[in-house]
Structure 1
Amino acid sequence: MRHFMIIEAPSNLGLKELQPGVEPGVRLLPEAFRKTGLARDAGISHVISVPAPAYTMDIDPESGVRNADAIAAYSEKLADRVREAVEKDIIPIVIGGDCSILVGNTLGLRSTGKRYGLFAMDGHHDYMWPEYSGTAGAAGMALAIAAGAGHEKLTDIRQLRPYVQEEHIYAYGNREPDDTYEQLIINSRIHYFGLAAIRKQGIKAITSRFLTMVDRDGLDGFWVHLDVDVLDNDIMPCVDSPEPGGLSYREWQETLEPLVASRYFKGMNITILDPTMDPDNRYTRTFSERLAALLRPAVKGLSST
């Protein structure tokens, strides 16, 4: 029997304003999921919240990252909650928020003193640093920060850099068609699968290789980073940086089912779904229902691979 909990992490510090004077609405996702009944439908009874600092548009002059000091401080708070859960053999499902919460989640794993892998599902690979960023937002740099690339203010919190080794990361789903952007991650040691590569190589082959790597390298488990913009824009348009195309819900489920069912699965975060872009709640409700259905077998102890 595996034990699950939900950690609400309503931080929008890693994004810039989409409209002047209007802060990003991703901070409202935990509240939206409470209304859809995600925890109830998934069978999860333990829910806690880690309140986020107030949003600003300030760019830190030292690191070149928007809200860098606040993100670092928030990452430590979130990391403590993730570490406590994992050390008690509880699987946290962390509801963001923007992708910068990945920093706190991977810091929490690293704080246990063990080694973990990362399966990062994202319509953008987020492996970049300030000089390549047009927004100075940590959300678009989150994977690089977790892997130790970037300013030490965010990459070396508690002197634990890197939070995840590059060779233990699978980046899955990018469809931003920019050669320079893509070359950054190609030049790394991260296992990189853009959308075209996923369709060519096959979902089962990629997830099987990831799980084999976790076992072969003696890792203590892995984390899943799930940015909802990995989904096709037609079925998930409520995101800050939409791109044409993306995974169908069938492909999304085929990817996640073996990961969530694995005995090595230690937690997951969900990011970037902005309820303010979904006035009739239909996209949020559909995603919540599908996520609950995905988690429910594992929560009820029906998965044991």
Structure 2
Amino acid sequence: MITVVSAPTNLGLRPPERGSVPGTSKAPEALREAGLFDRLTAAGARDGGVVVPGRYVDDDSTRARGHVRNEAQLVDHARRLADRIERVWRSGRAPLVIGGDCSILVGAGIASARRGRSGLVHMDGHTDFRHPGNSDDCASVAGEDLAAAVGLHGPAIADVDGLSPYFAASAVAHLGHRADDEHADEARGVLGCVLSAADLLSRGVESVAAEIGRTAGTGYWLQVDVDVLDPAVMPAVDSPDPGGIDATQLTQLLATLAPFAAGASLTVFDPDLDPDGSCARLLTDVIHEGLSTLGTAVEL
């Protein structure tokens, strides 16, 4: 059964404008208001509480070179999120972490590495493979989380407590980037499986799932950034890019992958960009229908 953990962090994102704060920290409560928690608990899920992040600071003018935005707060949150995920596992349940931005993959990675490491399925409209070796603009971990997860970022992010890499690159499957992603070729040379959004659109769910299984095995962590969806159906994200999959395709893929995952996280929904709540209601349907069987086919 599932335990739902709220991780309302925005620490890994750049500010929407100078001096402002990203809205992803509101996502867990917006989804609660849309009925997600009620629907999951009615099916047997437990509410695992909140892992509260530190204060978001627009520190571009004061941050030392070589450090990422909100670095100390982000690492502290990642450690505490890892502790909470481990607590859920010890209870024999599957953690479903509702973010927040996708820097929460660092916390999930720490927990997975402490447990003995597993595969990773990373669904995202971007490869999130920016790192100091390919960019001089590293600052926002939400665009660098996959690189950090396989040990390619700076040690403050990628080697917390000496646990790098949190996931072996050969056991990582990334899905969903767009054709113009600048780091896709590098990711293909490093990761076990890389499939673009176009690949997902042209291949059947069973074919994709089989390739993921060959790469990540079972008991993997499932990270879902909602910008894998096309902005025609999910505009409430910080970096919407055309060419994504639709909600039905995402739901079907999640429903196929979820039973074999030991835990999952959902990230980067921004309620500030969803004034009428329609995106929250859509995501509630996707999560409920796609992730309700999380962990049911693996030993937790």
User: Does TM, normalized by the shorter one, top 0.5?
Assistant: yes
Deviations 1:54-95 (A, max 9, x none): 001225425331112221111111111111212332111101
Match of 2:175 in 1: 172
| Residue of structure 2 equivalent to 1:138 | 141
Question: Map of 1:100-115 to 2, 5 A cutoff?
Answer: 100-112=103-115, 114-115=116-117
Task: State the match for 1:182 in structure 2.
Answer: 184
Q: Which amino acid aligns with 1:279?
A: P
Query: What's 1:260 paired with?
Result: 258
* Structure 1 position 161 matched with structure 2 position 159: no
Among candidates 7, 20, 26, match of residue 9 of structure 1: 7
Query: When the two structures are aligned, how many residues end up with a matched partner?
Result: 292
Q: Deviations along 1:281-304, whole A, 9 cap, x unmatched?
A: 0111121122112233x27x9x65
Q: Give the Cα separation in 2 of the matches to 1:21 and 1:279.
A: 22
Measured after TM superposition, the shift of residue 176 of structure 1 is 5.3
TM-score, scaled to structure 1:
0.89
2-structure distance, mates of 1:284, 1:24 = 17
Instruction: Label 1:269 to 1:55 Cα distance change in 2 as closer, same or farther (>3 A).
Output: same
Aligned in 2, Cα 1:196/1:289: closer, same or farther, shift over 3 Å? closer
Please report how far the alpha carbon of residue 33 of structure 1 lies from its aligned counterpart in structure 2 after TM superposition.
1.5
Equivalent position to 1:79, from 79, 82, 102: 82
* Correspondence for 1:120: 122
TM-superposed deviation, 1:211? 2.1
Q: CA RMSD in A?
A: 2.0
Match of 1:51 in 2: 52
| Alpha-carbon displacement from aligned partner over 1:225-284 (angstroms, at most 9, x marks no partner) | 00000001100000001101201112112211111123xx21110100000111110111
Q: Secondary structure at the match of 1:120?
A: strand
Which residue in 2 is equivalent to 1:199? 201
State the one-letter code of the partner of 2:180: P
Contact 1:96/1:271, CA 8 A, preserved across alignment: yes
Q: 1:285 to 1:200 in 2, by over 3 A?
A: closer
- The answer to whether 1:234 aligns with 2:232 is yes
Q: After superposition, what is the alpha-carbon deviation per residue over 1:144-181, rounded to whole angstroms, capped at 9, x for unaligned?
A: 10111110001111111100000110000001514x42
Task: Say whether residues 1:94 and 2:97 are aligned partners.
Answer: yes
- Structure 1: which 5+ runs fail to align? none
- CA shift, 1:4, in A, is 1.1
CA–CA distance in structure 1, aligned partners of residues 216 and 167 of structure 2 = 12
Aligned to 2:269, which of 250, 267, 273?
Answer: 273
- Deviation string for 1:203-226 (max 9, x for gaps)? 3212112224444xxx6x111100
Whole-angstrom CA distance in 2 between matches of 1:108 and 1:258: 24
Are 1:290 and 2:286 counterparts? yes
Unmatched 5+ stretches in structure 2: none
Supply the distance in 1 between the matched residues of 2:148 and 2:188 (Cα, whole angstroms). Answer: 16
Evaluate the alpha carbon distance shift between residue 86 and residue 62 of structure 1 in structure 2; reply closer, same or farther with a 3 A threshold. farther
Equivalent residue number for residue 27 of structure 2: 29
* 8 Å CA contact 1:38, 1:292 repeated in 2: yes
SS at match of 1:279: coil
Report percent identity of matched pairs.
31
Q: 1:133 to 1:120 in 2, by over 3 A?
A: farther
